[in-house]
């Protein structure tokens, strides 16, 4: 997967293209390899100062697709915070 650099405040969105019609999609965002509270939506906002230094933080989204009882997963590119 590729890497994209983003600034704090950027809204990231999961790629939903290519899934067959009728597929139920679920989202799980990861920050530096760990799940985080509220990371269950198709989009998330990149955190940033104040509070802590977020430079270098890495965001990835996992999309789970379920259709006719079969489950598959896709992961996004890595988004790295830079400012």
The distance from CA 63 to its chain's CA centroid, rounded to whole angstroms, is: 8
Architecture of domain 3-81: Sandwich (2.60)
What are residue 44's phi and psi, to 5 degrees? -150, 155
C-alpha radius of gyration, the chain, whole number: 14
Helix (H) or strand (E) holding 10: none
At 2-58, the pLDDT tens digits run 899 999 899 999 999 999 999 999 999 999 999 988 899 999 999 865 567 888 999
Supply the pTM of this predicted model: 0.87
pLDDT, residue 47, reads 80
């Amino acid at each position: 997967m590729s890497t994209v650099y983003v600034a704090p405040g950027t809204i990231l969105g999961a790629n939903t293209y290519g899934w067959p019609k009728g597929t139920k999609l679920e989202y799980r965002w990861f920050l530096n390899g760990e799940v985080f509270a509220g990371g269950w939506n198709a989009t998330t906002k990149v955190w940033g100062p104040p509070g802590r230094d977020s430079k270098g933080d890495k965001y990835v989204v996992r999309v789970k697709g379920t259709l006719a009882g079969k489950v598959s997963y896709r992961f996004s590119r890595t988004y790295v915070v830079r400012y």
